[in-house]
Chain A
Amino acid sequence: MQTTALYKTLGLAFGAMLISACASKGDVNEGAGSTVAPTATEQQAEDTNAVESAGVNGEALEAEANEAQAALREQTVFYFDFDQSTLKSEGKAALMAHAAFLAANPAASVVLEGHADERGTVEYNLALGERRSMTVRRFLMANGANGSQLKVVSFGEERPVMMGHDEGSYAKNRRVEVKYQSR
């Protein structure tokens, strides 16, 4: 089985990262990560030939892992609670993927655009949006990105994505958008 072989070649650190990523981001990869990994261990004991092919499949794995990372990086909007600027756990895997990309591509740079919902005062919300951007910036830096790659800007409550006046809209408006300036 191709997947089995793939998992055999997982480097420990890489595997751990992918699994942790899958664990927090309920996505396509989740099933593969949790069910296939034990099978791989089982088969490794009997099938020595498969080791031979490991190098060959290694390329494929990297491609697939890159794909997984790229998929994670497709999430570029991260949400916050009212009057809060702490990162929610569901966004962390994707932000780690952005951080890894930025670490691997020093020429890449992003603008972190902070936003608030319309409740409360305009200037306080401007500050709040900036706080949120800064939270994301710190998280990216802690995970390998360089500060010089990360520009912070806040639009406060001026640029909502949803125009409604209900919690559903507000939740979508309290956000930080990761916008790549160069890759």
Chain B
Amino acid sequence: MVKHSLIVLMWLFASLSQAELLIEVTQGKQSAIPVAVVPFSWNGSSALPEDVSAIVTNDLASSGYFRTLATSNMITQPHQLSEVIYADWSRLKQDFVVIGSVELQADGYAVQFHVMDVHQQVEILRHRVKGKASQLRDLAHYISDYIFKKLTGVPGVFSTKLIYVTTNRERSRFNLNYADADGAREQLIYSSKHPIISPAWSPDAKKVAYVSFENGRSEIFFQELATGKRERVVAFDGSNSAPAFSPDGTQLAFVLSKLGNPDIYVMDLATRKIERMTNHYAIDTEPQWDVDGRHLFFTSSRAGGPQVYKLDTANKEVVRVTFEGGYNARARITADGRKLVYVHKANDRFHIASQDVKSGLVHILTSETELDESPSVAPNGSMVIYAASEANRSILAAVSVDGDVKFRLPSKYGDVREPAWSPIFQ
């Protein structure tokens, strides 16, 4: 794996100055595709509230799949197809050029954009998208997703969201936050003096489940994102934690510990009936559904240290999945079911590892960060976001499932922990 350091940062657009997280790409793919996003034309009299083409540039660059061209290096800045001089872009060693225009309309904005293949000298994509005045960023991410899908074959995740927990140094304030996948537009959705852990998305992305200690012990709450309505869902005697929605959203796997023996349970969300899945004196925790909705991955200390196991919810059969090293925990599965991602301890350091489900081959993805934990996989299976320690603070960092692309989302204050990447919004 050859490291290709992209320039640390970034485009300074006004709205990001108030966001808490800022993306820094620390490592991109060596095979990153060179693409030039020409600043879009704009027919309005005052400045656009969001620089759409800059957001698209930023999205493509932060994915690690693209190497974007600085506007200062562009020979011309065309807005119309007829203005594109392919020889110029060829000389700049660009594979693709994106041009576009933003128009103010009665009910909002319309953006038209084109993608040109420099080598074939042909337009390969033309699209028009409209949105309300408040949705300029959404329009930009939509365009990024569209281009990303067209050029890589993989759905883009620029329109997805993150939820994560921030805390102050004294751990006297815990905030559950909601933000764009690039860290922009952060919103506080719940705040407490008591710890909040293990946020998880419902598959329809309409609500989140999380563990709150507001009643002096760990209990599982649901919160509807659109309304903010909270509901205490799992609060049996003992400790209730680690919620995970089934892929169809009808069931919730969780951990219930009565008198110190954590086991995996599944709740039918329609009837609220629970079924015990494991019954072992060891620690069983961190359940996560396999893509088939029938099996659960979970962490167990039944062999001494924590290892990942797979449980068949139909017959409760358990098989061990991880074997390398003495600490493997908190497994997450990619949407295609092919890679398992988890926390792996090697040489007394905690890192994120991916394991090929078929071959069992393990690949340690992270090395620059310390105390890596809480991995969460992007819904297109491209990236893993996780919490790590840097300069005595907890930050969010991301790595591609193949280990080639890395970026960080350093925060301006406090510790950022427990990220959960949303599904793709339909």
Contacts and interface: CB of A to CB of B under 8 A. Distances in A.
Contacts of A5: none
Contact of A153 (B217, B286, B345): B217
Per DSSP, are chain B's interface residues mostly helix, strand or loop, or mixed? strand
Nearest to A133: B260
Contacts of B241: 123, 126
Interface string A111-137: 000000011111110111011011001
B259 A122 contact: no
B209 interface: no
Given A83-B305, A131-B260, A155-B213, A121 B374 contact: yes
Contacts of A131: 260, 283
B384 to A, nearest CB: 14
Interface in B260-315: 260, 262, 283, 285-286, 299, 301, 305-306
B378 interface: no
Interface of A: 83, 118-124, 126-128, 130-131, 133-134, 137, 152-156, 158-160, 163-165
A121 B299 contact: yes
Given A128-B283, A158-B171, A165-B371, A123 B327 contact: no
B404 interface: no
A134 B216 contact: no
B218 A121 contact: no
A123 B239 contact: no
Interface of B: 169, 171, 195, 197-198, 213, 216-218, 239, 241-242, 255, 257, 259-260, 262, 283, 285-286, 299, 301, 305-306, 327, 329-330, 343, 345, 350, 370-371, 373-374, 389, 392, 417-418
A123 B197 contact: yes
Nearest to B418: A122
Contacts, number: 92
Contacts of B217: 153
Contacts of B169: 163
B260 A121 contact: no
A10 B306 CA distance: 49
B268 to A, nearest CB: 22
Nearest to A132: B260
Contact of A160 (B171, B286, B306, B350): B171
B242 A130 contact: no
Interface pairs A-B: 8 shortest CB-CB: A134-B260, A158-B195, A127-B283, A121-B330, A121-B329, A127-B262, A123-B242, A123-B286
A124 B197 contact: no
Given A121-B374, A123-B286, A124-B330, A155 B306 contact: no
Contact of B262 (A120, A130, A155, A165): A130
Contacts of A159: 171, 195
A153 B371 contact: no
A126 B212 CA distance: 12
B389 A120 contact: no
A153 to B, nearest CB: 5
Contact of A120 (B260, B327, B418): B327
B195 A120 contact: no
A131 B283 CA distance: 8
B286 A130 contact: no
Contact of A156 (B197, B259, B343, B350): B197
A147 to B, nearest CB: 9
Nearest to B217: A153
